[in-house]
Amino acid sequence: MTYKIGVIGDRDSVMPFKLFGFEVVYAISEKQVRETIEIMAKDDFGVIFITEDASELAVETIERYKSKVTPAIILIPSHNGTKGIGLKEIQDNVERAVGQNIL
């Protein structure tokens, strides 16, 4: 099975991902972000990149997909820079997998 890759966030942050053939959705409101995640999850997206700013608008929706294999929701910095949320998520996942924080 072939999975698609999607990117959610503000226009300036996610526009470059179109160059790589990813499906890009501009979402800046809480409703838009939540609905886009739900739609992508149902449409066989294997990976969803979402800006840290947009992820703060849909915390419950993202939490619901953390225990599922697909889609993998990966937080990325916006064009304004990082808030450290994505790095914290990676550190937590590594710690869960390895048993300690090796990063």
Give the closest residue to 55 by CA, choosing from 45, 44, 47, 63.
Answer: 63
Helical axes 59-66 vs 30-42, angle rounded to 10° = 20
CATH architecture of 4-98: 3-Layer(aba) Sandwich (3.40)
Ordered by start, the domain boundaries in the chain are: 4-98
Per-residue pLDDT reduced to its tens digit, 46-85: 999 999 889 889 889 888 888 887 888 888 888 776 666 6
Q: Is residue 33 classed as helix, strand or coil in its secondary structure?
A: helix
Per-residue pLDDT reduced to its tens digit, 7-26: 999 999 999 999 999 999 99
Beta bridge partners of 78: 81
